[in-house]
A and B are shown apart, each in its own frame.
Chain A
Amino acid sequence: MKLNLKVWRQKGASTGGKFETYTVEANEHMSFLEMLDVLNEQLIAEQREPVSFEHDCREGICGTCSMVINGHPHGPMKGTTTCQLHMRHFNDGETITIEPFRSNSFPVIKDLVVDRAAFDRIIQSGGYISVNTGQAQDGNAIPIEKDLASEAFDAATCIGCGACVAACPNASAMLFTSAKVSHLNMMPQGEVEATQRVLNMINQMDSEGFGACSNITACEAECPKEISVKNIARVNREYFAAVLASEKNPSK
């Protein structure tokens, strides 16, 4: 199959970018990234600079891919990362537009590569349980209801790719933040720090310059792990409780 690719090229964070168009010969069994590999091999053969895009595990779990394909972060297939997206879902002769995840909080490093360090900083602000190695009691000491563990797991499947931010018209990071707060606050082990956690993580999220959530739910619709916006509701709830009912204050 022959494809026309409109690819965003940008030299660095401080420079502007523009689209360039390429033609590539692919086959329907290729993954989307393998199709880009073919494009890059082609560019290298012509001694031109290949398109920079980030990728690693290519099995949908590392969360490294960061491109928007025809307007969809990770492409048009629901619940699928770019690396798991296959070319059989595209048509011969189709023009595909490929852009980086766009958000002020995810500055472009080069072409389709963006910097998502803001997510790390949100985790550092409280996305953990304060337990040192060796302090743990027996794993079975606290029984956890199966459904609760399963719900926490659903939130914990977040791969930290940033598609939620990329998809959100407001570039809000609420789905990411709420998934982590939910995962930890739901577990009995995480309950101890629940109040401080939600205050700190929301505060950090706000200071990173993400937009505010207005419940558009594009995040859930585009999330490759289909994480639910119920987590956002939960975090709102916990944030209100933390601010209004506890003695703690809404920032460090």
Chain B
Amino acid sequence: MKLDGKVPTGELSEKWTQYRGTMNLVAPNNKRRLEVIVVGSGLAGASAAATLGELGYKVKCFTFHDSPRRAHSIAAQGGINAAKNYQNDGDSVYRLFYDTIKGGDYRSREANVHRLAEASRTIIDQAVAQGVPFAREYGGLLANRSFGGVQVSRTFYARGQTGQQLLIGAYQSLSRQISMGNVTMYNRHEMLDVVKIDGKARGIITRNLVTGAIDRHSAHAVVLGTGGYGNVFYLSTNAMNSNVTAAWRATKRGALMANPCFTQIHPTCIPVSGEYQSKLTLMSESLRNDGRVWVPGKKDDVKAIREGRLKATDIAEEDRDYYLERRYPAFGNLVPRDVASRAAKVACDEGHGVNATGLAVYLDFASAIMRYGKSEAHSKGMVNPSEDEIKLLGEKVVEAKYGNLFEMYAKITGEDPYKSPMMIYPAVHYTMGGLWVDYNLETNIPGLFAVGEANFSDHGANRLGASALMQGLADGYFVIPYTIGQFLSNEIRTPIIDDQQPEFEAAEKAVKDRLAQFINIKGKQSVESFHRRLGKIMWEYCGMSRNEEGLNKARKMIQELRAEFYSDVFVPGELNEYNPELEKAGRVADFLELGELMVVDALDRQESCGGHFREEYRTPEGEAMRNDKDFTYVSAWEWTDTTADPTLHKEELEFENVELKTRSYK
């Protein structure tokens, strides 16, 4: 299969404008006759459904949640990037484009990323118009902050709840379209298959999660905005129900899965505290603006801390290893996520981890508290303030900046982060990989589109902070509403798709058979236990660092686990009722296949880049070593029959505007 990215010709900065100006349109009277299914109601799905509704298409939107407002976009904390240059600090569309390409370790498509940077500016305008209460300066204008991996302040934010506010904005727009009858909303409906007719995506099969009814839904085109697959690791910062099923069902119907091994491990999460743990909680990247990361330099101290004989605050300054500041003096604690995560792993692997499991490092605000305290004392005109007074003042400043995060940390761990440093460890956070899409966000199946985290398009091998919200909304508000016209303009003569066609019947039967299969295995082990075991394999062998031997081993283990699943899983309850275990069974079954593909992809990519770190490919100092000569391509995997090996299709990446350099943050 020859993969055509369909990148328009012309100057990079003009491509999108020119393309938009010349692409095919669908007249309003025809839009009314064309149906579009949008699966997922997160930032990408909700914004796409709302905008397509506004344009006049007949939209059906599906979510497995009880309300579109619950999608996991809601949990994004830090902010959203936009090249507004409101701070007059030299930001521009080009700079945002360049930072994103570089941050992604040169594994994304130039034209897509540039379009993203262009759209970023209108996203902010749109969100403000929707009433999103962004943070503001005293003069009433929008405030910004900075994030890892960049040197400008371009991140717009709404306290630590930016994702929530943006999602509610999109949800409200969607609600308006629902009330106007342009969008029909299907809550508590999970998509379990894509229906292809004559090679085109023409509908989906869903399960009504309340009644268990299996329904057919037809449309002229299908858009998937179903998020990422980080939950393949079992423990991640994703919501419990986030899953790969929609995208994976599309893969099973012939869509290509691109770069599945590119997963982002976020450096600042609350560490695992026990076997029972169900999910990990992120502490916003913004904390690294003021927090210093360290571990004890002496093994004796480590031992004493683990045994509870010493506290973090007992360790003398000279016995602490501020390893990020030591290894990366230029960026220090603000190195990009992949770099910070790997450094934490190195510190813990060398035996310096500080909690009982040995898998945690300190994030310390003591020096920030003293620094802010001194400056507050100075501005208050205090003469010779005592250390305690300074500390108190400093704590107030820190509270104003990060209060909600500190509170969250205290709630979860039961420890006071003002008094002793936070303990953090990296955790799976985001997946850069996803369904392969061309410039139109269309997969290789005509009429099947993927938006947001569900596609692979914009972040290459590593995503920069505050870029996920930007991409989700760019795709949904400003890209898909145009590019879907390229496909639909050829469908204006296609009548309403009849869902009584044999393809629908076959897909429905396949879905029903599969569900019945899960119930009928009647084994002994819970779905959860399989998921947990899969997660452990993935984290151990396909997590922060990978090697050939481990990956080969993992592949075999996953295959065995999958076989065990199909012979010994126990799914209680019945088909025709509200049955969360049955839902989970389908999702875990898909993860058990995706996991293997991730391992295969990681094996194929014999280089280290971004979130993908192969131990065989590193510099003598232990830094990632990219191989641009052999691996400047997108790995798009075809895998419809899991009994055979996946087939690799390569899309070569061409860089016409940026020069490929070694990423250095030293």
Contacts and interface: CB of A to CB of B under 8 A. Distances in A.
Do A and B touch each other in the complex, judged by CB within 8 A? yes
Interface of A: 11-12, 27, 29-31, 33-34, 37-38, 40-41, 43-45, 47-50, 52, 54-64, 77, 80, 84, 86, 88, 109-110, 113, 115-117, 119-120, 123-125, 127-140, 142-146, 149-150, 152-153, 156-157, 159-160, 183-184, 187, 189-190
Given A34-B277, A120-B187, A127 B172 contact: yes
A136 B578 contact: no
B134 A149 contact: yes
Contacts of B86: 140
Interface residues of B, number: 80
B45 to A, nearest CB: 14
Most B CB within 10 A of own CB, among A61, A123, A139: A139
Most A CB within 10 A of own CB, among B131, B138, B141: B131
B129 A135 contact: yes
Most A CB within 10 A of own CB, among B124, B134, B237, B578: B578
Contact of A110 (B172, B572, B578): B578
A1 to B, nearest CB: 13
Contact of B240 (A52, A56, A109): A56
Nearest to A33: B278
B462 interface: no
A123 B528 CA distance: 35
B133 A58 contact: no
Contact of A63 (B70, B124, B126, B528): B70
Given A57-B74, A139-B127, 6 more contacts: A52-B578, A59-B237, A84-B412, A117-B187, A131-B173, A144-B136
A127 B168 CA distance: 10
B276 A80 contact: no
Contacts of B138: 146
Contacts of A142: 128
B481 A41 contact: no
A58 B240 contact: yes
A30 B581 CA distance: 21
A60 B408 contact: yes
A183 to B, nearest CB: 7
B507 interface: no
A113 B69 contact: no
B279 A58 contact: yes
B273 A29 contact: yes
Given A57-B74, A84-B408, A64 B131 contact: no
A80 B408 CA distance: 9
A61 B161 contact: yes
A139 B278 contact: no
B570 interface: yes
Most A CB within 10 A of own CB, among B69, B241, B477: B69
Contacts of B233: none
A64 B651 CA distance: 40
B526 A136 contact: no
A156 B278 contact: no
A137 B125 contact: yes
A178 B481 CA distance: 33
B411 interface: yes
B577 A12 contact: yes
A133 B178 CA distance: 15
Most B CB within 10 A of own CB, among A34, A57, A60, A187: A57
B481 A56 contact: no
Interface string B238-249: 011100000000
